[in-house]
Structure 1
């Protein structure tokens, strides 16, 4: 049985239009330091938000909880899920008693992940990020973590073909300050970071943001701490019947962004692709096979 995917912060965001002014004030405090703000005592939370304790209780019930302690239990469960070790993740899904093949169960889980991910994406956010990535007046840097490095590499490889001034940060964190030297308010830093979140990536994001860079974050449903400094954040559901999280939902967003950036810059992108193909041909790095381009791209 798959774990629930609905988070307290999603409940708050979905209910925002139905909250009173005081409750929206409380919601703002909860979301600004999520989930830690909700784990303090009801008195301290009410004081921090400038509302009464009955307001905290009333809002918890509006969200569907019996009271504030039940809301806190949900937040603690989310925290536990964020730091879960690979072996524990697999145990949560069970064996399904062998009734269905793993391939079917995995495909079902990934399909659900993609459906819920798409349901939660704001098309306006997607369009804005696509425009930012298509703007060649900006330099783009891409980086991923231990598990998401391949996602970052995929995005980098395609953006580099479509537009100039795209750089992938090296795996060694020791050289990252050298990249930071060139980051400013014309820089876009794209970061992939899912649970168990990486402190080095968080420090990189903070330093880049302080230098004026626009930070685009790809993360899981719980949200990397980088979200506190990110200008744009995409949340993808990652749980699957495995010891490891699935990044397919995040790849769906990344591939769609690649397609949209290419559409926005089609004339320039086509020229770059044609020039690149000419280089391949002249250097004979790739053998022509019936008009197919490298990596399966059609002519």
Structure 2
């Protein structure tokens, strides 16, 4: 089917993404075709932009099974399937200026906050539903490996997420560091890295070439990579052992990191449970050190008992 053919145009007009078509049709596919669908969703859309042979190998099926799979989705061949994926990628690479031009029906006054709560809650729920459990489990295995040295890097906005993850993981396990921004520190990181290192990357659309390059060099040194990204996937996805995509759609002209922050919270919770007593003992040990270094600041880990001041009010730290 050539680009712009009536059938391809009709599929595009339906407004469904390839991922949505895949999820909707999984129950009607053969066992082999389901393997292709799951492989595609686990590394979406990157897996679908590979060759037929590469996607077949990823799914553990034959090349004809991949061709049958794209046909079941409604596409007349693999080229049409890939054109649809590329249109999705191009549609989602817009700048904030371009997103200003998109029409928004935003309520005003007292209706705004309930509406915003619904929007962001829906994005979090959708994101958690779409994260493959196997990818989440693999990320936990890597992050709780006691032999691993964990390095975490973020981008222009996503450094907020990377800093937050570092701040929590450092309490729970040793060997966690934020990747410095300066060139020499990054050179040393890659130069000293080996198979005992882990690089956690936060890279969202309008992906950062310097972050991608760092991940490529680290991976070539044997470093394991865990990626937090958007549904259209950073190029780092091709290198990563675990890929954790979250929605970024927002009612503002800027991508939302609310779902990604919620996923980071989920990772911290799961790591805490996985490390169990070992993690608790480390928190207690570090809390004792903290109290010696800064005895005037109450612990951030447990509420302090309020004391009653002269005026009868509860005294708390500011």
Normalised by the size of structure 2, how large is the TM-score? 0.73
Residue 172 of structure 1: CA displacement?
2.7
Residue 19 of structure 1: CA displacement?
5.4
Distance 1:236 1:93, change over 3 A: farther
Match runs of 1:109-258 below 5 Å: 109-258=119-268
Deviations 1:106-152 (A, max 9, x none): 32222121111111223333233213211221111100111100100
- C-alpha distance in 2, partners of 1:129/1:227? 13
Query: Does structure 2 conserve the Cα–Cα contact (< 8 Å) formed by 1:189 and 1:214?
Result: yes
Structure 2: segments with no counterpart, 5+ residues: 1-13, 52-61, 305-318
> Which moves more between the two structures, 15-24 or 238-247?
15-24
Distance 1:195 1:260, change over 3 A: same
Query: Does structure 1 conserve the Cα–Cα contact (< 8 Å) formed by 2:39 and 2:47?
Result: no
Q: Which has the larger radius of gyration?
A: 2
- C-alpha distance in 1, partners of 2:104/2:79? 29
Residue 89 of structure 1: CA displacement?
2.2
2:285 counterpart SS class: helix
1:92 counterpart SS class: coil
Distance 1:199 1:10, change over 3 A: farther
Distance 1:147 1:24, change over 3 A: same
- C-alpha distance in 1, partners of 2:141/2:82? 39
1:181 counterpart SS class: helix
Query: Does structure 2 conserve the Cα–Cα contact (< 8 Å) formed by 1:16 and 1:24?
Result: no
Name the counterpart of 2:55.
none
2:243 counterpart SS class: strand
- C-alpha distance in 2, partners of 1:192/1:167? 14
- C-alpha distance in 1, partners of 2:32/2:280? 52
Residue 99 of structure 1: CA displacement?
8.7
Correspondent of 1:106 among 89, 110, 116: 116
Structure 1: segments with no counterpart, 5+ residues: 39-48
> Which moves more between the two structures, 259-268 or 95-104?
95-104
Normalised by the size of structure 1, how large is the TM-score? 0.78
- C-alpha distance in 1, partners of 2:280/2:34? 52
- C-alpha distance in 1, partners of 2:288/2:119? 42
Deviations 1:76-106 (A, max 9, x none): 4312233201122243351346598443333
Aligned residue pairs total 278
Residue 26 of structure 1: CA displacement?
11
1:77 and 2:87 matched:
yes
Distance 1:210 1:109, change over 3 A: same
Deviations 1:176-198 (A, max 9, x none): 11111222111111000001101
Calculate the aligned-residue CA RMSD, in Å.
3.6
Residue 24 of structure 1: CA displacement?
7.6
Residue 171 of structure 1: CA displacement?
2.1
